[in-house]
């Protein structure tokens, strides 16, 4: 077995073991364990500063305000999202929010009119989201996402710990129902993303985000009518620099 293959296999076994060990653990306790004990200095929270993001950002702020938080600014985000990010960073006193995004030269070459989302949304997500995140995650052993099972059928069996490109991916809210998110936000009086009041329940780039109708999955407003359901951050191997 090649060394790299063995390393990936080792990480996969580690994720399965952690899921078995930590299933049922109180979420703030789990967050403290991954940040302080399992991956000290080697883990980042990836946050969209979207509809539910304040929950994990608040937990991080209680544990260590200097925990790296990676924010992907695709350059086509809502002004409300950028303002909400600034508001939450100040409110929670987060010390290490790192904005990442597409390379200007790549945008100039492939999407000078900001219209690639219409003709090739997969490539648009690759150059605006996947590739910047892959590069930013170099140097980390693990990252934390805010994905939840209730968000969409495609996330219905989401595990607490996964592996991707040789890293552990932690989904601390995987098992949280929507009501628990609301309860947490209310309990700590956390500011809400202003677009939630307009029925945007999953918020990303302007061209690919729309309000959700009653009874729809929270992510139904993403890429509406296109058949696309994920941006690639969670479906493609994140190899930094690779032209994926
Ligand atoms: S969500 Fe839409 S605009 Fe944003 S990167 Fe993906 S395809 Fe492009």
Say which residue, 217 or 191, is predicted with more confidence: 191
Location of structure tokens 């191997």: 237
Q: Is residue 227 part of a domain?
A: no
Got the DSSP string for 203-235? --BGGGB-PPPTTS-GGGGBTTTTS----STTT
Three-state SS for 147?
A: coil
Please give the model's pTM, rounded to 2 decimal places: 0.89
Find out whether the beta carbon of 204 lies less than 6 Å from any atom of ligand 1. yes
Q: Is residue 26 part of a domain?
A: yes
Condensed to tens digits (0 to 9), the pLDDT of residues 28-86 reads: 999 999 999 999 999 999 999 999 999 999 999 999 999 999 999 999 999 999 999 99
Report, as an integer, the average pLDDT of 123-136: 96
Domain of residue 166, residue span:
3-221
- Whether residue 239 is predicted with pLDDT greater than 60 in this model: the reply is no
Q: Is residue 243 part of a domain?
A: no
Q: Which of 166, 175, 196, 226 is nearest to 78 (CA)?
A: 196
- Whether residue 5 is predicted with pLDDT greater than 80 in this model: the reply is no
**Edge-to-edge strand order for the sheet containing 69-72?**
97-100, 69-72, 43-46, 142-144, 167-170, 161-164
Find out whether the beta carbon of 92 lies less than 6 Å from any atom of ligand 1. no
> Cα of 208 to ligand 1 centre, how many Å?
6
Find out whether the beta carbon of 28 lies less than 6 Å from any atom of ligand 1. no
Kind and range of the H or E run holding 70: strand 69-72
* CA dihedral sign of residues 184, 187, 192, 197: positive
pLDDT of residue 219: 75
Q: Is residue 45 part of a domain?
A: yes
Condensed to tens digits (0 to 9), the pLDDT of residues 143-201 reads: 999 999 987 777 788 999 999 888 999 999 999 999 999 999 999 999 999 999 999 98
CATH number at residue 77: 3.40.50.620
> Cα of 125 to ligand 1 centre, how many Å?
5
State residue 44 phi and psi, 5-degree precision: -130, 150
Catalytic residue annotation: 231
Nearest-angstrom CA–CA distance, 209 and 195:
11
Q: Is residue 230 part of a domain?
A: no
> Cα of 204 to ligand 1 centre, how many Å?
8
Q: For the chain, how many structural domains are there in total?
A: 1
Q: Is residue 106 part of a domain?
A: yes
Nearest ligand 1 atom, CA 127: 5
Q: Is residue 234 part of a domain?
A: no
- Whether residue 103 is predicted with pLDDT greater than 50 in this model: the reply is yes
Q: Is residue 151 part of a domain?
A: yes
The answer to whether the CB of 195 falls within 8 A of the CB of 205 is no
- Whether residue 3 is predicted with pLDDT greater than 80 in this model: the reply is no
Q: Which of 82, 85, 102, 103 is nearest to 94 (CA)?
A: 85
């Amino acid at each position: 077995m090649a060394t790299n293959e063995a390393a990936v296999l080792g990480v996969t076994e580690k994720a399965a073991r952690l899921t078995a060990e930590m299933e049922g653990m109180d979420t703030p306790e789990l967050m403290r364990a991954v940040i302080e004990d399992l991956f000290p200095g080697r883990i980042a929270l990836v946050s969209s500063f979207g509809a539910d993001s304040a929950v994990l950002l608040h937990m991080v702020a209680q544990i260590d305000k200097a925990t790296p938080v990676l924010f992907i600014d695709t350059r086509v985000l809502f002004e409300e999202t950028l303002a909400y990010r600034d508001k939450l960073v100040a409110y929670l006193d987060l010390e290490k929010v790192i904005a990442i995004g597409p390379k200007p030269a790549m945008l100039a070459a492939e999407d000078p009119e900001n219209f690639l989302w219409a003709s090739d949304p997969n490539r648009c997500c690759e150059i605006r989201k996947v590739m910047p995140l892959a590069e930013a995650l170099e140097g980390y052993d693990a990252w934390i996402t805010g994905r939840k099972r209730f968000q969409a059928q495609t996330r219905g069996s989401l595990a607490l710990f996964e592996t991707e490109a040789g890293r552990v991916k932690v989904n601390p809210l995987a098992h949280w129902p929507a009501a628990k998110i609301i309860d947490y936000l209310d309990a700590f009086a956390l500011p809400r993303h202003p677009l939630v009041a307009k029925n945007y329940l999953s918020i990303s780039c302007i061209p690919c985000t729309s309000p959700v109708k009653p009874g729809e999955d929270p992510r139904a407003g993403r890429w509406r009518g296109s058949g696309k359901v994920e941006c690639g951050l969670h479906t493609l191997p994140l190899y930094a620099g690779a032209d994926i």
